[in-house]
A and B are shown apart, each in its own frame.
Chain A
Amino acid sequence: MKTGAGKLAVGLVLVLVLVSLMNCGSARRSDPTGNPPAVTTESLRTGQTAFMMHCHQCHPGGDAGLGPALNNKPLPGFMIRMQIRNGLGAMPSFPEKKMDDATVDAVIEYVRALRKG
């Protein structure tokens, strides 16, 4: 079993890896310039619709705009969920009454599909 200090070290390494991966590659995923995800399942369609209504305006197509790009950031799903639910900095929070858990799951799935391109 790892000690507290060991866990902290693992965490810091994780952060450093995230930093090193930040902005790797283009965040563009549009039809003409990249490989947009094939939206073939119902949950991806739900995620795409919710993304368009709530996320697209600050992260157009997952690219940078008012906010930072999403498509080139290797955030794990639980962190995407925490940020959606709690907000951070200039990003607002999206509580349950605005986006239920199933929709958050679908948005995470769509964001991951966008990232893969």
Chain B
Amino acid sequence: MKVPRLCAVLFILAALVVSGCYALRTSSGGGQTEFTPPRQVNAKDVALPDGYRIEAVATGLTFPTGVAFDHSGAVHVVESGYSYGEVWTVPRLLKVGTDGRSHTVVAEGGRNGPWTGVVHANGRFYIAEGGVLEGGRILRVEPDGNVAALVEGLPSYGDHHTNGPAAGPDGWVYFGQGTATNSGVVGEDNLKFGWLKRRPEFHDVACRDVIATGESYESRNVLRSESDEKVKTGPFSPFGRERKKGDTIQGRIPCSGSIMRVNPESKALELVAWGLRNPFGLAFSPEGKLYATENQFDERGSRPVFGAGDLLWEIRTGGWYGWPDYHAGEEIFSGDRYASPGKPRPKRLISPPSTPEKPVVVFGVHSSSNGFDFSRNHAFGYPGQAFVAQLGDEAPTTGKVLAPVGFKVVRVDIRSGVVHDFAVNRGKGNGPASFLGSGGLERPVAARFDPTGTALYVVDFGVMMQDKTGAKPVKETGVLWKIHRDGR
């Protein structure tokens, strides 16, 4: 055998060994496990850099998603009231009891979760209400618990919801609005999420007018389960409706895949940025710049997109961030980079309204990088750096992974774009506590510093298993963790 040929054979064999032949391997997501309540909680199972300590300050929460502190510094959490898997409870704002178990209910919502986050500013709480059944809202909670909507009717009936909020230095309340779909086209995956049957006319809403390329996707008519009928669906359209080449897709506000802001006094609503998929976490840096985490494409539905890591963006007013045709500023419709193995590459859906922005950081694919905050105090360390909660993969629903991704808190140096693990479960491999059989972190969904900046609170959503039929969340497994420096 000639040397070049031998080298080629060796390369292929070795590379196959190293790659583990991706197509042949089954998914091994962190949620692909079994769990029997009650959840064990043990801070010693969480590893931190030297000099830091973690403790559980509240346990037994049901689907918690956010933490905030009132004017006296008292700790409050929101429980979502809804989880993927179509599990409904009552959304609540709770004042956390000092014993970690007995909490005071400050406010309750109706059957319109998920409440995805909370912030306290100027003596009031502001809550993002996901709005699965009645549309998204931004709620204002007065000190006496009275709840009023600042804005309502947000397009939140789909896969992703109304997120945030963050209090801007300008006095406005900023929030994210997720898209209805994975990549612009309503399909069979949306039936699995539960909403397509409830709202068969729902679809993504553009923020500004965009021009359709005329591409559409064929799928089984899943709204008629007994039928083999095929239908074609275009972007920003109801299931089964096409878009012709050159069609103007009308933009309007409120819209999908955007960051908007509302004035808490006048209730005026404005668009800040668009072309995002699911901007979940929002935070202002110490310099007053707005940043957002974005849950990126999944490998599912009529237009699956492979290998798109979650992103951290610096948000520029008026900026367009590329959805549904770009990831991190790259075309997903060119080359083989984003083609799901064995499937054609995604087709271009719209003419780009402008050049897409470039991200600050690329996180792990399917890491579900969510709520975050910036360190502001040298006493905690790493001032100016972002601490990001990663809920973890939802494989196999969102796509296959070879090992659990996320399930931790990472530290991001936004100047260099380097990501470091900060709080992770101990063990030979990565994963949620239920996967590892430990008492550590399960699914961190938000991270926020207390008003002194000396303690980082981490909201842990709790156990959410996954299989081919979707999510299997477990009530009363949520935890609020607190991380601080030794002796401080």
Contacts and interface: CB of A to CB of B under 8 A. Distances in A.
Please determine whether chains A and B interact with each other in the same assembly: yes
Interface of A: 4-5, 7-8, 11, 14-15, 18-19, 22, 26-28, 30-33, 36, 45, 48-49, 52-53, 56-58, 60-61, 63-69, 73, 75, 79, 82-83, 87-93
Contact of A66 (B1, B2, B6, B402): B402
B6 A11 contact: yes
Contacts of A7: 1, 3, 6
**Which 6 A-B pairs give the minimum distances between C-beta atoms?**
A57-B309, A30-B421, A64-B403, A32-B47, A90-B22, A66-B365
Contacts of A82: 11, 15
B402 A64 contact: yes
A8 B6 contact: yes
Interface stretch (B104-112, B256-264, B334-342): B334-342
B interface residue count range (under 10 / 10 to 19 / 20 to 34 / 35 or more): 35 or more
Given A4-B2, A33-B421, A88-B19, A56 B362 contact: yes
Contacts of B48: 32
Given A49-B418, A67-B22, A89-B23, A60 B402 contact: no
Contacts of A69: 403
A69 B417 CA distance: 21
A15 B422 contact: no
A26 B19 contact: no
Nearest to B335: A92
Interface stretch (B181-189, B349-357, B424-432, B459-467): B424-432
B330 to A, nearest CB: 9
A interface, over-half SS: loop
Contact of A56 (B2, B11, B364, B422): B364
Nearest to B12: A88
Contact of A31 (B23, B308, B363, B422): B422
Contacts of B309: 56-58
Given A67-B402, A75-B18, A57 B365 contact: yes
Nearest to A95: B335
A15 B10 CA distance: 7
A36 B420 contact: yes
A57 B330 CA distance: 14
Interface in B410-438: 416-424, 426, 428-430
B23 A90 contact: yes
Contacts of B424: 30, 32-33
B418 to A, nearest CB: 5
Contact of A92 (B12, B307, B429): B307
Contacts of A73: 18
B22 A83 contact: no
Contact of B418 (A5, A22, A48, A60): A48
Contacts of A57: 307-309, 362-365
A61 B11 CA distance: 24
Nearest to A21: B17
B209 to A, nearest CB: 32
Contacts of B420: 30-31, 36
Nearest to A45: B416
A52 B418 contact: yes
B49 interface: yes
Nearest to B363: A57
A61 B424 CA distance: 13
Interface in B1-43: 1-3, 6, 9-23
Contacts of B6: 4, 7-8, 11
A72 B180 CA distance: 40
Looking at B1, B363, B402, which has the most chain A CB atoms within 10 Å of its CB? B402
Contacts of B403: 63-65, 69
B364 A66 contact: yes
B421 to A, nearest CB: 3
Contact of A60 (B15, B405, B428): B405
B366 interface: yes
B239 interface: no
